[in-house]
Amino acid sequence: MKRRRSTVPKVFGIGFHKAGTKSLANALRELDYRVTGPDGVNDPRIARTHLRMCRRLAEQFDAFQDNPWPLVYREMDRRYPQSKFILTVRDTEEWWRSVVGHFGAVSTPMREWIYGYGSPIGHQQRYVARYEQHNREVLEYFEDRPQDLLVLRITDGEGWERLAPFLGVSAPSTEFPHANAADGRSSRP
């Protein structure tokens, strides 16, 4: 089912990477959203260029996930006041294990900007503190607007039953896409 683009509010996935962002992207695509993210991960100037890049991409897509979108939710909320925001979260220890397992010692300018260190190895305290701080700040920001924020625990099995009503759409008859088999979930294309 194709949607009329003018009637679709923008959807911002504002959970940190390794918290179900790829599964969210796949679900939104299945609902006919034009999705982007992650964006600018290897841009050495990302700390300076992210807002310009996000503004440009926001005009081209309907839905956004992974980095740098969690860092610009306030700006996007002001720019697109009818938008929906989805905070994907998971248990902090599971999140940390997934971060280390996925990124290892590899550094990126994006993670250096977010955490102060591009590689998670040796920086668990900083990464965990930043992850938990972000989640708290999002909850506080949307505290008086629960209709605009969905907290979604994809890695705990939440899916269409929460996402579809939040977006005001019918849930597909297909299984919710779980993108990372490493988390013990089946993978779908």
Domains in the chain and their CATH numbers?
A: 5-171 (3.40.50.300)
Average pLDDT over all residues of the chain:
92
Model-level pTM? Answer: 0.91
Say what the pLDDT of residue 179 is.
76
Tell me the per-residue pLDDT of 32-76, one tens digit each, with 9 for 90 and over.
Answer: 999 999 999 999 999 999 999 999 999 999 999 999 999 999 999
Strands 149-152 and 11-13: unpaired
Tell me the per-residue pLDDT of 157-185, one tens digit each, with 9 for 90 and over.
Answer: 999 999 999 999 999 999 999 876 554 43
Say what the pLDDT of residue 184 is.
41
| pLDDT at residue 143 is higher than 50 | yes
CB atoms within 10 A of CB 143: 9
Residue 75 structure tokens: 């700006």
Span 105-127, mean pLDDT?
97
